[in-house]
Structure 1
Amino acid sequence: MALKFHRQIRSMSFVSNIMDKNIKADNANVEKLLKKYGSLAPRRYRYSELKKITSNFKQKLGEGGYGAVFLGTLGDRRAVAVKFLHHSRPNGEDFLNEVISIGRTSHVNIVTLLGFCLEGSKRALVYEHMPNGSLDRYIYSSPASKPESPVTRLEWETLQEIAAGVARGLEYLHEGCNTRIIHFDVKPHNVLLDEAFRPKVADFGMAKLCDPMESILSMADARGTVGFIAPEVFSRGFGVVSAKSDVYSYGMLLLEMVGGRSNVKAYAAAKETDMFFPLWIYDHLLGDGGVLVARQEGGGDAEEETIARKMALVGLWCIQTVPANRPSMAKVLEMLERSIDELAMPPRPYHPSSPSNSPSLSHSLPSSYPSSASGFTQGSRSFTTESTK
């Protein structure tokens, strides 16, 4: 018995030593890259400083597989959110992605990273605090269905502004940075809302930095969240991975805002009828009841229905299976700003289970749509998206 106990202790000690070595190796890799970026990296905090900033981790804002987030206050009384990471990808990739990628950005629709901590096994990120939390709180639940979770119902005008703000943030990442950033995890949970419900794109743990002249990315692994991953990310048979992969995720985000539910859960609930979530939205667009019926709101006034229809149409164009058929984020902004009469009905969506089922490489938009509408065919002229902003 004693021998067995000692063997267990030795085994645990061996595993602990392996983990310690991995942590040291990861930290060495992170330190090396942080040194490379020098002044471009945000402020570095000691763990003891973060304990003081969070009042010894007094108020937890949330927790997930990534770690836990605590409310804190800086010396100048600014409220901050301190995210402590439980786990990290090999070589500290997710931690580095956040520190380096967000540290290089400056945009009203991108969350601001104020600092970080790297001390042994402790890794943390310090962000500006977004008091209204993440977008998913406002589109997946309602006060009626979850009375214990008091959530303000957002008006359709606000939802439209949020959609446009997220598009501006992504367009900045794709075209406005010195180094192009592909987010790879665009979803409602990663859209944070400030006190005025202005959206900011957050969580860059899966982001990839690339040269502005590089339109096609080389990737060794699929990344993202189920339900939002573009087909080409998990199977190159659908096309090349590029900024258009974020466009697909953004399209799914729009459809969830319109449908008021998770696209994965909605698809699972209707699996026996093979009702793919975008197809469910598409059918409501064609139906007599209107899009708002999809949210079980009993319909809305004409202005609300118009906003919902426009968001649905743009979302459906963004999730085209072939990347070249999706608009760029700059074109998405144009579409959101134009009259709904200028937006054509996109092709009927289908679940991308096989590249052989892919539709043709272009579809038509109305002739009133601007000739720079990349990724579509207008009259006899074809436009591609990879070379346009």
Structure 2
Amino acid sequence: MTTVSGKRTVGLKIKIGTAALGAGIVVTLILMLLFWKTPMTRIIMPSIKQRSKHFDGEMKIEGLISSRRYTYKDIKRMTNSFEEKLGQGGYGCVYKGKLQDGRFVAVKLLKKLKGDAEEFFNEVASISRTSHVNVVNLLGFCFEGSERALVYEFMPNGSLEKFIFGGSNTLEVDQQLSWDTLYQISLGIAHGLEYLHRGCNIRILHFDIKPHNILLDANYCPKISDFGLAKICPREESIVSLLGARGTVGYIAPELIIRNIGGVSHKSDVYSYGMMVLDMVGRRKNIEVMVDHTSETYFPHWIHRCLELREELGLHGITNEEDEGIAKKMVIIGLWCIQIDPRARPSMTQVVEMLKGSIETLQIPPKPSLSLLSRSLEVCPCESSSLQESNDSNLGCSMSIISDPRRL
């Protein structure tokens, strides 16, 4: 009995000694970090921060299991080591790829992003919640160390911008879309935005609607893409809070810049949509500034005046009354969407109804206030996404003017 008791005593002493030694080591390390700041903290802290960011990213990715996760090796294999580049921008590059089942895909390989790559997580988190014919389908993603990529369904016709913007305000014949096709595209985009605003179990505000972010499939069916600036919010919330303006200048709603105009809401996407529709009508960028400023005319004002005076719109490609009616309908709806007061803009549900309805039922909206918007853009504190294309004018704060509106 004595021997067993002695062994227990020795074992207890060993456990106490081990615990004391461990505590001593911990205390010593803490003291070293506190008082030997220079070498130790500079070596250890970056490693701790890096591990923390990686762990945080992994935690965010855990909720995205609805999309397939690929390794970087998979990405290289499906793109044949990034052989065919489809496009390039500030976010990185897009390559054509092919899955094992034979489907073609578009692989967006992201550059090293600022901060903790919030845009990447934002895009995957928001688009993973969607399923609509007019929203691009995310097939998978890669999150491996510093490598991040998004795998989308392949859109043979690329983005809308190449069909409405020419290098010198002209387009090749094979790139020109009929007015009926432009109308169907505008209707499809409206359906997609209506779904994001009302059709999902959550409300998604895109905040970067523009021609570059509208992709076209083989049948010119439009699909909304690039959700890097999107914000997810409960459906019952109408007004959202943002730390700063976001989007691309020329399409940013004025309330994102001047907060006393009205609250930021789904109506901000409506404004961007309206500016894009006017881009489609004029087949030119509304944020471009012509070299000749001798006769400056803001395009929405010029087109509004034509409607008021019942003048011919003089737009490119109109050959019959049907084309004229489509163009007029798109113009009126576009002008309603870009009203400065968000409350005066229609919802996307109303936009869909207007597009499907008769032109005779549409009233000409008030003329948008150019002076107020010009002042806001002069002091525009815009925050552009690191995923945005580098050749966009999203950092320049300038209003759209044209020297001769009839040269469209």
TM-score bracket relative to the smaller structure: 0.7 to 0.9
| Length, aligned pairs only | 334
C-alpha deviation, 1:287, in angstroms? 5.2
**Distance in 1 of aligned mates of 2:299 and 2:370:** 9
**Distance in 2 of aligned mates of 1:324 and 1:271:** 33
135-144 or 160-169: bigger deviation? 135-144
The answer to whether residue 230 in structure 2 is matched with residue 244 in structure 1 is no
Structure 2 counterparts to residues 338-377 of structure 1, below 5 A: 338-351=357-370, 353=372
Cα gap change, 1:51 to 1:26, in 2 (>3 Å) = same
**In structure 1, what is the equivalent of residue 145 of structure 2?**
120
2:338 pairs, out of 319, 322, 329, with: 319
1:140 pairs, out of 155, 158, 165, with: 165
Cα gap change, 1:276 to 1:72, in 2 (>3 Å) = same
Structure 2 counterparts to residues 108-257 of structure 1, below 5 A: 108-141=133-166, 145=170, 151-257=174-280
C-alpha deviation, 1:350, in angstroms? 2.3
**Distance in 2 of aligned mates of 1:145 and 1:213:** 45
**Distance in 1 of aligned mates of 2:349 and 2:206:** 16
Letter in 2 for 1:276: Y
**In structure 1, what is the equivalent of residue 103 of structure 2?**
78
C-alpha deviation, 1:279, in angstroms? 1.2
**Distance in 1 of aligned mates of 2:374 and 2:85:** 44
C-alpha deviation, 1:187, in angstroms? 0.4
Preserved CA contact (<8 Å) 2:332 2:364: yes
Structure 2 counterparts to residues 48-67 of structure 1, below 5 A: 48-67=73-92
TM-score, normalisation: structure 1? 0.80
20-29 or 224-233: bigger deviation? 20-29
Preserved CA contact (<8 Å) 1:226 1:264: yes
**Distance in 1 of aligned mates of 2:294 and 2:61:** 50
**Distance in 1 of aligned mates of 2:262 and 2:359:** 29
**Distance in 1 of aligned mates of 2:242 and 2:131:** 26
What SS class does the counterpart of residue 336 from structure 1 fall into? helix
C-alpha deviation, 1:294, in angstroms? 3.7
Cα gap change, 1:139 to 1:39, in 2 (>3 Å) = same
1:336 pairs, out of 345, 355, 373, with: 355
The answer to whether residue 59 in structure 2 is matched with residue 32 in structure 1 is yes
Give structure 2 stretches of 5+ with no counterpart: 1-43, 377-408
337-346 or 80-89: bigger deviation? 80-89
What SS class does the counterpart of residue 309 from structure 1 fall into? helix
**In structure 2, what is the equivalent of residue 275 of structure 1?**
297
| Bigger relative contact order, structure 1 or 2 (CA pairs below 8 A, ≥6 apart) | 2
Preserved CA contact (<8 Å) 2:254 2:373: no
Preserved CA contact (<8 Å) 1:251 1:317: yes
Preserved CA contact (<8 Å) 2:169 2:284: no
**Distance in 2 of aligned mates of 1:354 and 1:190:** 24
**In structure 1, what is the equivalent of residue 386 of structure 2?**
none
Deviation string 1:1-46 (CA, Å, 9 cap, x unpaired) is xxxxxxxxxxxxxxxx9999876554433222222x2534x11100
Cα gap change, 1:161 to 1:195, in 2 (>3 Å) = same
Preserved CA contact (<8 Å) 1:231 1:352: no
Letter in 2 for 1:129: F
Deviation string 1:164-196 (CA, Å, 9 cap, x unpaired) is 000000000000111110000000000000000
Identity %: 48
What SS class does the counterpart of residue 241 from structure 1 fall into? coil
**Distance in 1 of aligned mates of 2:50 and 2:298:** 42
**Distance in 2 of aligned mates of 1:99 and 1:163:** 25
C-alpha deviation, 1:68, in angstroms? 0.1
TM-score, normalisation: structure 2? 0.76
Give structure 1 stretches of 5+ with no counterpart: 1-16, 358-389
Deviation string 1:99-141 (CA, Å, 9 cap, x unpaired) is 1111110000000000001112111000000000000111112
**In structure 1, what is the equivalent of residue 32 of structure 2?**
none
Preserved CA contact (<8 Å) 1:255 1:281: no
**Distance in 2 of aligned mates of 1:315 and 1:144:** 20
Letter in 2 for 1:34: I
Cα gap change, 1:146 to 1:317, in 2 (>3 Å) = closer
What SS class does the counterpart of residue 82 from structure 2 fall into? coil
What SS class does the counterpart of residue 83 from structure 1 fall into? strand
**Distance in 2 of aligned mates of 1:103 and 1:246:** 20
Preserved CA contact (<8 Å) 2:94 2:108: yes
